[in-house]
Structures are given as C-alpha cells and as structure tokens.
Amino acid sequence: KNLQTIQDSIAWLKTQYGEFKIKPVKIMVMDLFHYLEEKYAAKLKENNSNFYFKGDHNAFLTSDRMLLEYVLDKIFNNAVKYSFPGQDIYLQAITEGDQVVLSIIDSGTGINEKYLPAIYTYGNPIFLGTAGEKGAGLSLKIVKNFISLLNGNIQIISVENKGTTVSLFLRKFIE
C-alpha cells in the first residue's frame, strides 16, 4: 500500500513540475481493454470475475497513452477491489461526435451517495475492498487531475450495494 502511494504521488508530481507535455498518439480502445485484461488477469481469476467489452470495437481516440492508461488502471483497480466474487466488470466505449465516452462498470459495493460530492477531496474516509484491501484515498484525486490535463471530464454514478459506473468523457483528438 505504501509503495502504491509513493508511485501514485510520483506519477502526479511528474505532471506538475518541469517540462511535462501531453504526448498525443492514436489509441484503439480495444488495446486499452486488452491492457487491462492482461494486467488484471490474476486478480480477475482470483475474484472469479469476468471482464467484458461493450460498444464500438473500432473506437479510437488521440490522447496521451501514459496518462490514459494510468487513469483506467486506477478506476479498474477500484472496480475489482470493490466487486464481490463472481461479479462481472465492463469497459464500455461509445463514440458521440468528436467525443469518446469510456465507462468502467461494476456491480460491486457502490458508494454511499453522501460521499460522492467529496469523492475528489481528502475529506472522505478510506474504504476497505471486498477482500479487506485498504486504499490510500489518492487515486481518484490524481485521476481527476489527469483527466483535466487531457481536456476531459469524469462522472461517477454509484448506488450503494448495486455498483458504480465511472465514465470518462474524452475528446477524440487532442493536440
């Protein structure tokens, strides 16, 4: 946990100081799906969960791969952490004009609505995952920052004991 906190802090610091520049490249959304599928294969198997893709299999966007993979990794890690054994997780891609909406959808523990307004602040308590995993409470704060660097938006819809959908609204092309 401490190592993860340090790594998250370093990733964020790199974007705040020095000569950090967005490096836009064309990214196929299916490549992002396969990245998550491979990275989390062991955790998904351990949790007896499946990971599925929904939506446009040809969807793409031009974005910074490092930032986008970091964001999806943190959101997906939360989806796995807060899902009960046997529950499926989805990556959904919808193209709407010059925008791509990427959503990670789970049927896990959800978030109590009283915590949602402050989800990107340091005011919320630390929640335990379904297997007792403890987070540092940093991930979503960094995710929000990275999404703004990509000129995008994030939306979290969650119902306690029903699940969470985290949607990223990203421009198809960034410069």
Report the candidate in 119, 42, 117, 115 with the shortest Cα–Cα distance to residue 75.
119
Per-residue model confidence (pLDDT) at position 18: 62
Give the tens place of pLDDT for each residue, 22-59. Answer: 889 999 999 999 999 999 999 999 999 999 999 999 99
Reduce the DSSP state of residue 1 to 3 states and report it. Answer: coil
Distance CA 29, CA 91 (A): 9
Per-residue CA distances from 46 to 33, 40, 143 (Å): 19, 10, 26
Locate tokens 């993860």: which residue?
Answer: 4
Give the tens place of pLDDT for each residue, 14-30. Answer: 666 666 788 899 999 99
pLDDT at residue 106 greater than cutoff 70: yes
Give the tens place of pLDDT for each residue, 79-100. Answer: 999 999 999 999 999 999 999 9
